[in-house]
Structure 1
Amino acid sequence: MFISKMIDHYALNDLHKDRSKEYQYHIDSAHTPINIERETFYKVVKPISNIALNITSTEHGYNIGKFGFKSQIPSGEKFNDYVTGEAFINESEGKPNVIFVHGWRMKAFDRVKKIFHNSIMNNLGWNMYYYTLPYHLDRQPEQSLYSGEFMVSANINRTVESTRQAIVDLRALIQWLKNNKQGPVIIIGVSLGGFISNLVATLEPEIDALVSIMYSNRLSYSIWNTIPGKYIRQDLEYHGVNYNDLIKYWEITEPNQALPKINKDNILLISAKYDQYVDIQDANLLWEAWQKPTRYIYNCGHAGIVLKRKKIAKDTISFLQNKIR
């Protein structure tokens, strides 16, 4: 336990080397989504007619390149309003389609790829799509100091709209895959990507299986009670926002507010007992609210994403193979 917490503590200090230099606080109370119907708020505006796919190479029977499409929830930021990602598409038809959703502040897809990529490409041949969250990677605005700075912040409305943008565009991608590809659609989310994947599972019935790894559940809880949110909390408190306010403002983003629309037997949750990024109590809340789907709890901290990646890959792939036969 002590070693796990120390590793997470060191990583957290490194994480905060990059942080906002100015206060991000903003609220437009008239447009804060309180008491709004979830299904309407996260509804896909219209089906995607086509996804741009730029194939740049071939390897191991895969066509490899980038995909992109216009976001359905425009933010006014040029880079952010075009959804991008990497695609690895098997030349054989009918393969399962895996969408990977990365974590907060990730600067590349490498951390997720190191867990799953080679195992899937070399042993399974599944199609893989690496989905870029709002304000991250290629979607990071020029004025942003680090990847993901503008997705989760003390800007209360923008944080909700970023979550909405992530959900609606991810749902649009899922629906496009269902309409244009033969295989099942699987979502694998890591950290913040797990939070987004969990939320989309409460809204989108076209998902065949979900794996959520070291996920957060309530953004308000994470910001107020864990070290990664400490500077955002300081920003909010300085401007007079208390914890109960934040819960109210961000409640519509909580996955535990609704049951999944997919078969509970096709959900795998993975948590870390000594996680210093995602409090295990918050992770427990989702598991219980969702009527206790399959869950593994590792004896590690959040750094288990790196230190236990072989175990994560083995557990995840074994689970999925049993569900999508």
Structure 2
Amino acid sequence: MYHKWLDRWDEQRARRGEEAKKATAFVLDSSLAFPAEKRAGTVQEFCTLADRALTDSSFYDEPSESDHDFVMREGWLRFPSDLSTEVEENNLVWAKVTESGSLDQALVIFHHWNAGRRNRQISKFFSQRGVTVLEIAMPYHFERSRPGSLYAEDMLSPSLGRTIQSVRQAVLDGRKLIRWLRGEGYGEISVLGMSLGSWVAGLIAAHEPAVTKASLFLTAGSLADMVWTGRATRAIRDSLEPAIEISDLRKAWGLLNLESYAPNLARADLALHLVIATRDKVVLPELSRRFIEKLHEAGARPSVLELNCGHYSLAMPPYILLAGWSLKRFLSPEG
């Protein structure tokens, strides 16, 4: 009975999230994803460019070493993104910093798609336990929103190229912030990603050797499959489905598939922690389990917590308490 009520609550929450979303035109926008390449005119040409970029180990590398332009003021850190877009607000990165008074450990948090606020409770909890917390704004979120937009439609959309550009920008921004943290003297640096933020955190962990722990909440491997099957992305699928097959979408967004980087995530000096919801309709549990299998095949041994709740009800007790306690153990020095 309780879980039926929980499922209804998750569905009501999902419907509220749909109010601002609308189907928009499918576009390739290959020049946004691959600016140095010839513009793709077909889905097949786009997939060829994506396959080529997938073999380029530098795709998620920082384009510059300019770390002198960070400004810290009254608990806020801001710095310019190294990837410039036509939205001026999006080109300045903001992070809310909750300091612990210690340089032993820092945690960088990447929130879920369309997050409306940062999580003061998580930041306060960990800062009181010696972990400095930085809640970074992903592209087109919080202070970086496109003026007049009702949700972060540029971060995840039926534009194949803009979605890749946005995720790549998020990864570059996160790596730049982590590089700054190292320069400030922080020892252990961890990342925490939630839902879409878990893809960003996972990509950073796969490419940034300074990250020693990565916690991924409500995650999976294939972003294409998540968008195609997920409850929160129906408007995007409605735009994609008439124009592209799921098999081609997987190729086009192979750069965003964490399974593509399973060997990187399995490196010996990286600890992984995953939290999945077994009643999730946004990130289907079978997608999460397939990702875990790929990690095991690559030699990783992630700590996995499965909770019998939905995507949105993870935020409710007792599930959020169980997830938080598991994260606390994972981040502890002996974790």
**TM-score, scaled to structure 2:** 0.86
Deviation digits for residues 23-76 of structure 1 (CA, Å, limit 9, x no counterpart): 2422135354422124221111122423533432xxxxxxxx111111111122
After TM superposition, the structure 1 = structure 2 runs for residues 82-101 of structure 1, keeping only pairs within 5 Å, are: 82-90=92-100, 92-101=101-110
Give the whole-Å Cα distance in 1 for the aligned partners of 2:266 and 2:206.
5
Contact 2:99-2:127 within 8 A present in 1 as well: no
Contact 2:116-2:142 within 8 A present in 1 as well: yes
Residue in 2 that maps onto 1:46? 64
Give the whole-Å Cα distance in 2 for the aligned partners of 1:38 and 1:100.
27
Classify the secondary structure of the residue corresponding to 2:190: strand
Going from structure 1 to structure 2, the CA distance change for 1:2 and 1:93 (only over 3 Å counts) comes to closer
Identical columns (%): 21
Amino acid paired to 1:81: N
Residue in 1 that maps onto 2:328? 317
Residue in 2 that maps onto 1:302? 311
Q: Is 1:250 aligned to residue 260 of structure 2?
A: no
Q: Displacement, 1:322?
A: 4.2
Give the whole-Å Cα distance in 2 for the aligned partners of 1:264 and 1:297.
24
Residue in 2 that maps onto 1:118? 124
Classify the secondary structure of the residue corresponding to 1:166: helix
Residue in 1 that maps onto 2:50? 34
Classify the secondary structure of the residue corresponding to 1:45: coil
Q: Displacement, 1:248?
A: 1.5
Residue in 2 that maps onto 1:25? 26
Give the whole-Å Cα distance in 1 for the aligned partners of 2:127 and 2:208.
27
Going from structure 1 to structure 2, the CA distance change for 1:48 and 1:24 (only over 3 Å counts) comes to farther
Q: Is 1:235 aligned to residue 244 of structure 2?
A: no
Contact 1:209-1:323 within 8 A present in 2 as well: no
Contact 1:192-1:216 within 8 A present in 2 as well: no
Structure 1 residues 163-172 or 302-311, which shifts more?
302-311
Q: Could you list the runs of 5+ residues in structure 1 that have no partner in the other structure?
A: 57-64
Give the whole-Å Cα distance in 2 for the aligned partners of 1:275 and 1:264.
30
Residue in 2 that maps onto 1:79? 89
Classify the secondary structure of the residue corresponding to 1:79: helix
Q: Displacement, 1:194?
A: 1.1
Number of residues paired by the alignment? Answer: 308
Structure 1 residues 25-34 or 166-175, which shifts more?
25-34
Structure 1 residues 170-179 or 2-11, which shifts more?
2-11
Classify the secondary structure of the residue corresponding to 1:97: strand
283, 288, 298: which is aligned to 1:278? 283
Contact 2:305-2:323 within 8 A present in 1 as well: no
Residue in 2 that maps onto 1:59? none
Contact 1:5-1:275 within 8 A present in 2 as well: no
Residue in 2 that maps onto 1:61? none
Classify the secondary structure of the residue corresponding to 2:332: helix
Contact 1:5-1:276 within 8 A present in 2 as well: no
Q: Could you list the runs of 5+ residues in structure 2 that have no partner in the other structure?
A: 31-38, 41-45
Deviation digits for residues 138-159 of structure 1 (CA, Å, limit 9, x no counterpart): 111114222x211000111000
Give the whole-Å Cα distance in 1 for the aligned partners of 2:56 and 2:288.
21
Classify the secondary structure of the residue corresponding to 2:186: coil
287, 290, 309: which is aligned to 2:292? 287
193, 197, 203: which is aligned to 2:197? 193
After TM superposition, the structure 1 = structure 2 runs for residues 215-234 of structure 1, keeping only pairs within 5 Å, are: 215-234=219-238
**TM-score, scaled to structure 1:** 0.88
Classify the secondary structure of the residue corresponding to 1:152: coil
109, 113, 116: which is aligned to 1:104? 113
Q: Displacement, 1:132?
A: 0.7
Classify the secondary structure of the residue corresponding to 1:217: coil
Amino acid paired to 2:331: L
65, 76, 81: which is aligned to 1:66? 76
Give the whole-Å Cα distance in 2 for the aligned partners of 1:265 and 1:304.
29
Q: Displacement, 1:89?
A: 2.3
Give the whole-Å Cα distance in 2 for the aligned partners of 1:215 and 1:289.
13
Give the whole-Å Cα distance in 2 for the aligned partners of 1:17 and 1:264.
43
